[in-house]
């Protein structure tokens, strides 16, 4: 579904927290839809789980599933084992616990009666006894997301009330359960309950923020919403200046960021060690790292598959050794003209780094060429 440029589930919290971010993004000519590999994977998994819930596919035949929005990307066995299966298990447990036996997927959050041009797409909307339900899938591995105070789900819940086609699922007088299922991070859903009055207040607050955001002097403000703001690198408040970023300000910010990055790593290391030693930290716990599928015994696996008459070329991969590995077994003169040193791209480093600086004109051309390839 196309994303709203006025307000959507993913931008509602930022607009309310920082109305000025709308103009800042526009003034900096930032393209917000980057189509990263993580975003594309999320889109694929959303489409896959929708196909399963709609009865178009089963979990047993979902491997190989593709969707039109992610050409060249397909569901694989790892997607099934670490994302889709645990997500479905959590969903089924929720349905059983709250007696949700009626629901629909990919429904329209219609804000047009309150904010023209604002809309969103709800992953799952349903009825569970005396509750309306708004459920959102999160397939990322990075940041845990909570349902409590979640502006994205509040946006969906309020928008669902305004969609006349959802009146059989959404009862405006009932409380709403906001649910987030994040299978790669959490073993159970995050659930929050909101009242009709809270949704009414959210509608008013967002409508007011959107109106302010359209004015030239809309105020900027820092907060948790900054984390996902695409204009963050050029934000005057973040850089402590009135206009666009200057080299001196960036130099100071980078020095501070380097120092804070080291500090943050040491804090996480200390916290992890305290938990490993049997201590406790409020709000944190030890969990198993992401499981990867490996052969119990490669030799046994290959013998069995060969015994079943699978061809060797179908079950093994032959690749040329790397130059570093080859130099240990092949004479140097036999490798002349076959090896080159090629940088994978450009990266920023402090002046103390021993590598020579790339001339600015050359760097700009390489950056442009990289963007053109995309």
CB count within 10 Å of CB 75 equals: 24
SS3 at position 270? helix
Asked if 19 and 7 touch (Cβ cutoff 8 Å), the reply is no
Which phi and psi (to 5°) does residue 174 adopt?
A: -90, 155
Question: 12-232: what fold?
Answer: Lambda Exonuclease; Chain A (3.90.320)
Residues with Cβ within 8 Å of 317's Cβ and at least 6 positions away in sequence, in order, are none
Joined together, the tokens standing for residue 298 give 């490669």
Return the pLDDT at 293: 78
CB count within 10 Å of CB 135 equals: 26
Place of tokens 């790593």: 265
Q: How far is CA 234 from CA 19, 23, 230, in A?
A: 16, 12, 9
Which phi and psi (to 5°) does residue 54 adopt?
A: -85, 0
CA separation for the pair 263, 272 (Å, rounded): 14
Enter the pTM of the model: 0.66
Beta strands in 112-226, from DSSP E residues, in sequence order: 119-128, 131-137, 175-181, 190-194
Direct distance between the N- and C-terminal alpha carbons of the chain, in angstroms, rounded to an integer: 22
Q: Which tens digits make up the pLDDT trace of 300-345? A: 988 898 899 888 888 887 778 888 888 888 888 888 888 888 777 7
CB count within 10 Å of CB 302 equals: 15
All residue ranges of the chain with pLDDT < 50 are: 241-243
């Amino acid at each position: 579904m196309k994303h709203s440029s006025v307000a959507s589930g993913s931008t509602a919290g930022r607009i309310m927290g920082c109305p000025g971010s709308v103009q800042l993004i526009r003034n900096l000519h930032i393209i917000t839809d980057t189509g990263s590999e993580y975003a594309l994977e999320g889109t694929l998994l959303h489409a896959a789980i929708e196909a399963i819930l709609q009865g178009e596919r089963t979990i047993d035949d979902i491997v190989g599933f593709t969707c039109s929005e992610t050409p060249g990307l397909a569901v694989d066995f790892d997607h099934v084992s670490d994302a889709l299966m645990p997500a479905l298990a959590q969903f089924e447990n929720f349905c059983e616990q709250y007696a949700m036996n009626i629901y629909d997927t990919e429904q329209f959050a219609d804000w047009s009666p309150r904010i023209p041009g604002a809309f969103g797409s709800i992953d799952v909307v349903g009825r569970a006894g005396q509750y309306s339900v708004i459920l959102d899938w999160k397939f990322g591995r990075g940041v845990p997301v909570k349902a409590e105070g979640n502006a994205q789900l509040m946006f969906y819940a309020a928008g669902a009330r305004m969609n006349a086609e959802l009146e059989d699922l959404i009862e405006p007088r009932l409380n709403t359960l906001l649910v987030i299922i994040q299978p790669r991070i959490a073993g159970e859903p995050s659930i929050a309950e909101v009242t009709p009055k809270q949704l009414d207040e959210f509608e008013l607050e967002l409508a007011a923020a959107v109106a302010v955001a359209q004015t030239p002097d809309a105020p900027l403000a820092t907060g948790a919403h900054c984390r996902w703001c695409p204009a963050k690198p050029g934000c005057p408040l973040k850089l402590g200046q009135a206009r666009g970023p200057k080299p001196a300000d960036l130099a100071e910010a980078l020095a501070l960021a380097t120092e804070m990055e080291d500090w943050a790593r040491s804090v996480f290391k200390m916290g992890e060690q305290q938990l490993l030693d049997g201590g406790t930290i409020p709000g944190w716990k030890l969990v198993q790292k992401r499981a990867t599928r490996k052969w119990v015994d490669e030799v046994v696996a290959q013998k069995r598959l060969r015994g079943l008459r699978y061809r060797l070329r179908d079950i093994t991969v032959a690749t040329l050794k790397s130059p570093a590995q080859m130099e240990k077994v092949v004479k140097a003169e036999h490798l002349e003209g076959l090896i080159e040193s090629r940088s994978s791209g450009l990266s920023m480093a402090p002046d103390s780094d021993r590598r020579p600086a790339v001339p600015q004109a050359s760097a700009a051309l390489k950056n442009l060429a990289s963007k053109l390839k995309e």
